[in-house]
Structure 1
Amino acid sequence: MTLEPNIWLWLISFAPLVLLLHLMVLRRWGAAEAGVLGWLVTAVLALTVFRLPLDAVGLASVKGAFESITIIYIVLSAILIYEVANAADAFAPFHDGMRRMFGHPLLQIMAVGWVFAGFLQGVTGFGVPVAVCAPLLIGIGVRPLYAVVIALIGQAWNNTFGTLGAAWVGLQQVTTLTPAESATTAWQTAVLIAVVVVAGGLMICWLYGGFRGIREGLVAVGVISLAQGGVTVALATWDATFSGFAAGLVALVAVAGLARLPMYRRPSRVENSRLLVPERGPDTGGATTAPVTQPGSGDGAAGTRHVRSTTAAPATADAGPTGSSTSMSFNTAFVPYYTLLVVTCLVMLVPPLNDLLSRPSVGLGFPSVETGLGFVTGSSTWTFEYVTHAGTLLLVTAIASYVFYRRRGHLTGGAWRGILSNTVEKSVAPTIAVITLVGMATVMQASGQATVLATMVAAWTGGVYLLLAPIVGMFGTFITGSNMSSNLLFGNFQQATAQAGGLSTSAVLSAQTGGGAVGSAIAPSKILLGTTTAGITGEEGRVVRILLPFAIGVTLLLGAITATLS
């Protein structure tokens, strides 16, 4: 349907998002509470203003509930991995091992929260990097709130070409590009991704220590950015589906090399970094003690325990509530994540195996719906490839890790009871939040509210649309939680807008998916994955307050670059 610019309809469509941000950012509501009210307001507006039939509102909400299953599955499995590692008391030796490999605390944070998170996004995606890396960052002494923030920043850059190019393939599915246009779009997108890489690295340094943090981390940012962004640019036009994985892999090698530089073997000059739980130094025979914050301790000011640093004897794992006092090496502590990498690479990167395991699936069809205002949402099918799903890969990893730790004597016979109990307890609030937030997004799409928001922005911006095109992509990822979904939702619209305005299609589409990558840092569903596994459920608003200026600033920068390139 063709819409005339209508400020009232736009404001009404924007109201649920304003309410959501108000409740989470200003009122400090958790995502579960805010999501319920946000969905309710969205449904009422769909019924009254957009005249979506009641059964269609219900249908859209049910569709959202089914789409939520894929996210909730990841949440449950990721929590389970954490609980297994925590019960085995694996985070203390992990902390000491990271100190041995990376002497500089900022490089430790970059290695886990930026490089490893980006690599995981290149292979798995779907929120797994946030769910996995937030607890790992806590394990090296990062405050839980900032552990979530850093993991979200660290995975954002690989949200277009990562996960074997899922978002890029989605963009191609809903647009009509010639081979030349596709190559140009891939290259321009890679350039924007390189900008996101640099911005993310600098942001982590700034959070660590302001301008001093940037000075200390500048060399690392340059090298890692060259690996992540440079490889993406070099390979995007050759094989877009492989470039994200390759860039993440090269970055892993690069950060290992950085650890050998003398400048990153010296102590940091940044004192009292906001990212880190303050270290304490009781009389330990010359060794300092580094706190390992347990999830649930908020910013990490309390609820800490201490382990001997690398200047002391090799790390040993203290007896946890369900574990044993058997010593544990760094490699043993990292077994869950080694296992995850091996399982994921086998399933995702071996074509015959991936093809075989992708066949089992379940699906449910949803008919098209039409509102009283003439908005039509086409029919769709929800498909769940449960064997190759990221949640299954995490679940297999959790089970394998439990068996490994049990046989090595790091877990007692009844440890599984506490592990399952804690997993269920921690999953209740995020399950409610995911269902309501995704349901809110599907109702917005079915009623036409999402279309109104994007269409009116295009109509009102006219010749400056190139500057704002990334905002549409960021908005799409914000409401759907996925850059791929954002591309599927707005890719065709972005191309039509570019053609109608005589703009470069390649420039607008690269802005769409580039902005979508940035939007993944503030997507509520991904934030929930982080706060849940970090044990700070209900703090989603604080995460948004930290990341929103970063996301908006980088997105506007991408718009300026897009306008310049075209």
Structure 2
Amino acid sequence: MNLIIAIVPVLSLIVLMAFFKMSGDKSSIISLVVTMLIAFFGFHFPLDDLLFSFLYGAMKAVSPILIIILMAIFSYNVLLKTEKMEIIKQQFSSISTDKSIQVLLLTWGFGGLLEAMAGFGTAVAIPAAILISLGFKPIFSATVSLIANSVATAFGAIGTPVLVLAKETSLNVQTLSTNVVLQLSVLMFLIPLILLFLTNPKLKSLPKNVLLTLLVGSVSLGSQYIAARYMGAESPAIIGSILSIIVIILYGKLTATKEEKNQRNISKSKDIFKAWSIYLFILLLIIVTSPLFPGLRNTLENNWVTHISLPINMSTVNYTISWLTHAGVLLFVGTFAGGLIQGATVKELFVVLWKTVKQLEKTFITVICLVGLSTVMDTSGMISVIATALATITGNLYPFFAPIIGCLGTFITGSDTSSNILFGKLQASVAGHIQVSPDWLSAANTVGATGGKIISPQSIAIATSAGNQQGKEGEILKAAIPYALVYVCITGIIVYLFS
């Protein structure tokens, strides 16, 4: 009975969004109420713990998720205000007028780099917004951005998910990182091919799509494997994304038609720098404050810090924000500095920021309710019941289902890192009982979690907010579910066959 009622919140969210086509804010409010009632009456979760759990979830939703979403959309809106987005669009067109190449470059290349550096929704919000400005339909832009924001998530935010997994399971970081790359190997070819096919499904385009897929997939797999095996979790996604961007640009230049080659870029270098200044400043700030510079990062992390403690389940839960290394703050500073360079006044920038806040009102409600829901499910024991039941029922077939548990964790929480915190120890524990390498099964949790990002309601909320499509979350979820299912099935087969 506990298992049945524990599944209800997840099912209610899917049914309301995908089948009743209810907006994300309404679906999340209803599902949150259902979850809290189940926790109180079904799992006998004390009322004070219930309220503090929701409060803890709401705080996690505001920081880092909502602050990052707000600042990511703010950066895009500033580009619209200063009219520098036209130059960025021209830049992408000058690389190639081929829509497929533009989509792959923006989602897999640039989006992968944003995920590797910052994570937490930037890799969905910014590429989706730019795609829309290039003339792509909002639903298409959201869907391809979600699909692309999968593989890179494993090593997102400078390797945070795998680093956290290693800490939770006491396993070797490099071994875990290598296993993650091996389990994602097929998808490093399949996801780019899907992105290209969705953009241009014509049969005559298949040979060039396959060739570009092989080039990008090979570079991604080779570079990430070497980085993971010899360097650890911090660099695979960064190196893989940068090399992918280089390969896609070179391919676009080499395959350009005579007319495209004869086209000259009318923008001056100074104008190009101004147009890209926002994203250049953001990337620079993220790199400088990342674990790649541990001394500076430690200094910044220990200054201007907010600490909040909440009593939940007869223990104290600590909530900490290090503002000087906060990705949302870095996005704000980079956007503000870039906006000034682009000619906007301080007053104009704050006006754009306030309009962005108003634009994202429904997104704020959706994400707060979703993260609150996931926190209540975690602290009340619902998530543990679902995962343990799946592990018990599947027996020796468990390796095939291991990625599904990781996927479930991300679907509910919206975070690969959170999924690893929830289920990392469980995966390692089950591995010991069925005589499978704990490094292999623990890695499977992260790999499955990357698939869950495709259909995570939080990610979908970010995608809809990027295109001002709030209320169409169900439509995007329905479009994304088949890709997530195939994704998790492929990883399950790989994990099972080589376990």
| TM-score (normalised: structure 1) | 0.83
Q: Specify the alignment match of 2:183 in structure 1.
A: 192
| SS of corresponding position for 1:521 | helix
Show the counterpart of 1:249.
Answer: 242
Once the 2 structures are TM-superposed, how far is the Cα of residue 183 of structure 1 from its aligned partner? Answer: 4.5
Aligned partner of 2:378: which letter? Q
Question: What's the counterpart of residue 454 of structure 2?
Answer: 521
Are 2:65 and 1:122 aligned?
no
The letter for the 2-side match of 1:220 is: L
Change in 2 beyond 3 A, CA 1:536/1:76: same
Q: Is the Cα–Cα contact under 8 Å of residues 104 and 266 in structure 1 kept in the other structure? A: no
Aligned-residue offset at 1:211: 5.7
CA-to-aligned-CA distance 1:318-376 (integer Å, 9 cap, x gap): xxxxxxxx999444322221222222222223333222212122122233417xxxxxx
Q: CA 1:386/1:460 → structure 2, altered by over 3 Å: closer, same or farther?
A: same
Quote the residue 2:138 is aligned against. 144
- Amino acid in structure 1 at the alignment position of 2:338: S
Take 2:36 and 2:348, find their aligned partners in 1: how far apart are those partners? 44
Say which of 303, 306, 330 aligns to 1:362.
Answer: 306
- Secondary structure of the structure 1 residue equivalent to 2:436: coil
Alpha-carbon distance in structure 1 between the residues aligned to 2:337 and 2:312? 43
Please state whether the residue corresponding to 1:365 is helix, strand or coil: strand
Cα deviation code 1:55-104 (max 9, x no counterpart):
11101001101111211111221121121111112222222221111232
Partner of 2:5 in structure 1? Answer: 12
| Superposition deviation, residue 507 in structure 1 | 2.2
Structure 1 position 413, deviation (Å) = 8.0
Q: Distance in 2 between matches of 1:313 and 1:219?
A: 27
Larger relative helix fraction: 2
Q: What residue identity is the alignment partner of 1:188?
A: N
Is residue 2:490 matched to residue 1:557?
yes
Structure 1, 379-388 or 31-40: larger mean CA deviation: 379-388
Q: Which residue of 1 aligns with 2:415?
A: 482
Contact preservation (8 Å) 2:415, 2:453: yes
> What is the Cα deviation at residue 394 of structure 1?
0.7
Alignment of 1:459-478 (within 5 A): 459-478=392-411
Paired residues of 1:107 and 1:217 also in contact (CA < 8 A): no
Query: What CA distance in whole angstroms lies between the structure 2 residues aligned with 1:413 and 1:243?
Result: 38
Aligned partner of 2:214 in structure 1 is 222
Task: Look up the equivalent residue of 2:285 and give its one-letter code.
Answer: V
Cα deviation 1:178-236 (Å, max 9, x = unaligned): x5xx5443322111222232221122122112363543321221111122222111221
Q: Distance in 1 between matches of 2:6 and 2:248?
A: 45
TM-score, normalised on structure 2?
A: 0.93
Instruction: Find the aligned partners of 1:254 and 1:314 in 2 and give their Cα distance.
Output: 21
Contact 2:402 2:492 in 1 (8 A): yes
Contact 2:410 2:419 in 1 (8 A): yes
* 1:518/1:555 contact within 8 Å kept: yes
Deviations 1:497-529 (A, max 9, x none): 111222232221121110111211222212222
Q: Are 1:68 and 2:5 an aligned pair?
A: no
The one-letter amino acid paired with 1:393 is L
Correspondent of 1:164 among 153, 158, 162: 158
User: Structure 1 residue 157: deviation in Å?
Assistant: 0.9
- Alpha-carbon offset, residue 557 of structure 1: 0.8
Pick from 310, 315, 319 the counterpart of residue 382 of structure 1: 319
Gaps of 5+ in 1: 1-7, 268-286, 288-308, 317-325, 371-377
The SS at the match of 2:201 is helix
How many residues align? The count is 494
Asked if the contact 1:473/1:486 (under 8 Å) is kept, the reply is: yes
Q: Secondary structure at the match of 2:253?
A: coil
- Is the CA contact (8 Å cut-off) linking 1:93 and 1:328 kept in structure 2? no
Give, in whole Å, the separation in 2 of the partners of 1:9 and 1:214. Answer: 49
Query: Contact 1:29/1:538 (CA < 8 Å) preserved in 2?
Result: yes
Q: Secondary structure at the match of 2:186?
A: helix
- Aligned partner letter, 2:439: S
Any idea what SS the aligned residue of 2:307 has? Answer: strand
Corresponding position of 2:363 = 430
Query: For 2:283 and 2:76, how far apart are their aligned partners in 1?
Result: 16
1:333 is aligned with what amino acid? Answer: A
State the partner residue of 2:196.
Answer: 205
CA positional deviation for 1:47 = 0.5
* Amino-acid identity (%): 26
Distance in 2 between residues matched to 1:412 and 1:165, nearest whole Å:
37
**Alignment CA distance shift 1:417-1:445 (3 Å):** closer
Other structure's SS at 1:383 match: strand
Alignment of 1:284-323 (within 5 A): none
Q: Is the 8 A contact 1:92 1:315 kept in 2?
A: no
1:303-452 → structure 2 map (5 Å cutoff):
329-348=271-290, 349-360=292-303, 361-369=305-313, 379-406=316-343, 411=344, 415-416=348-349, 418-452=351-385
1:109 shift after superposition: 1.0
For the residues of structure 1 that align with 2:144 and 2:41, how far apart are their CA atoms?
A: 41
Tell me how far 1:418 sits from its aligned partner.
4.3
2:223 corresponds to:
231
Query: 2:166–2:176: 8 Å Cα contact kept in structure 1?
Result: no
In structure 2, runs of 5+ residues without a counterpart are: none
- Write the distance in 1 (CA, Å) between the matches of 2:221 and 2:467: 28
RMSD: 2.3
Structure 2 letter corresponding to 1:358: E
3-state DSSP of counterpart to 2:342: helix
SS in 1 for 2:230: coil
Report the secondary structure of 2:318's partner residue. Answer: strand
Q: Judge which range, 495-504 or 182-191, deviates more.
A: 182-191
Deviations 1:261-285 (A, max 9, x none): 22xx149xxxxxxxxxxxxxxxxxx
